[in-house]
Chain A
């Protein structure tokens, strides 16, 4: 029926509008690159949502950015390998799952090549990054697995405990790295002290011998 057609047409548009409601925003310059760091354990999903607004001088307010103005999103894993490098439109959603534990770097910059596009102003970027359990959409999970209220609550608890366990695991790995760094520092300090003492003594001996032979040659001693 006609209603179904209207709903079918409206639904995707409404979905894209209400997909992202976070209100934390910041300003970014034309060629500026803003980087965010997420230190996460492995097999953790991250969902990032952003929305851009451009300052309209005539209306003196921020309006949704024009088409063609997009953001370039680049995600690097702890080994500095690029795991996501894509351009999105003025509104976008990026997802990735970490395969190595550690610091992942998420960088955003606008793809604008026309320097006058920003009209001297800044681009307003609304950003929201959801990590691990927060990235779960419980309404969707409840609908898909047909869970009752209690089951959904327990499911949420299970996801939370899962995240805690992964973080604890990662903590153990980090502590190991920390211990290795401290032991390496300890070793280095020890070795260099010994080597420097030896160098000092050796140089002292060489100096004295050299000068002694020099003065003897000059017949001063």
Chain B
């Protein structure tokens, strides 16, 4: 007969639970490339009653705008915005199922864009697997919790700042290249136009005998 001692079984369960939680993700943050005329959709399974937040920002490309659309499992559109640069939308899941959100760059003909999005589902998982506490947190522990929350918001601000800076830097680099090309182009055009002006004027005053062009030949 196989007998598993209760302690070793409990240990096994705890270890498995810890492993489960280490892979547990309740929020996804990605920055992806969206080519021109393309649409990219993401799906996430959500349990009813969970508070979710979808936040997106266009980092580089064109006029820094994108179409965004969020649908619930039945296909009802919860959020739809066209040509938005950045936005944040919070909702509570009314149904169980797969929520779908899409970013579309179909209105753009040749600029491909980089889009950042952050889809938070519910709260962050607790640090400890068996968090059902019998006693309240000690002063130290509650201080740790509040510092942790504050640091999370600092990291959040940093992310926003980083995206804004990336956008600004992308615009500045665009401007730099455009100025370079425009300057060279204009210098060439200037030279070509002025030389052809002189050549044209000269041709007006040249001898008629040497230039015989028959119209309609």
Contact = CB atoms under 8 A, between A and B. Distances in A.
B22 interface: yes
Contacts of A3: 2-4
B179 A188 contact: yes
B154 A164 contact: yes
Given A21-B24, A150-B144, A154-B144, A27 B41 contact: yes
B165 A189 contact: no
B7 to A, nearest CB: 13
A65 to B, nearest CB: 17
Contacts of B138: 150
Contact of B190 (A19, A24, A203): A203
A87 to B, nearest CB: 21
B215 interface: no
B172 A178 contact: yes
B25 A128 contact: yes
B165 A174 contact: yes
B187 A195 contact: yes
Interface string B29-57: 11111000000111111000000000000
17 contacts: A1-B2, A21-B24, A22-B23, A23-B25, A24-B25, A36-B32, A38-B31, A138-B22, A140-B18, A140-B22, A152-B127, A153-B141, A156-B127, A156-B148, A178-B169, A181-B172, A203-B190
Interface of B: 2-4, 12, 16, 18-25, 28-33, 40-45, 114, 119, 127-129, 138, 140-141, 144-145, 147-148, 151-152, 154-155, 158, 161-162, 165-166, 168-169, 172-173, 175-176, 179-180, 183, 186-187, 190-191, 194, 197-198, 201-202, 205
Interface of A: 1-3, 6-7, 14-15, 18-27, 34-39, 49, 127-130, 137-140, 143, 149-150, 152-154, 156-157, 160-161, 163-164, 167-168, 171, 174-175, 177-178, 181-182, 184-185, 188-189, 192, 195-196, 199-200, 203, 206-207, 210-211, 214-215, 218, 220
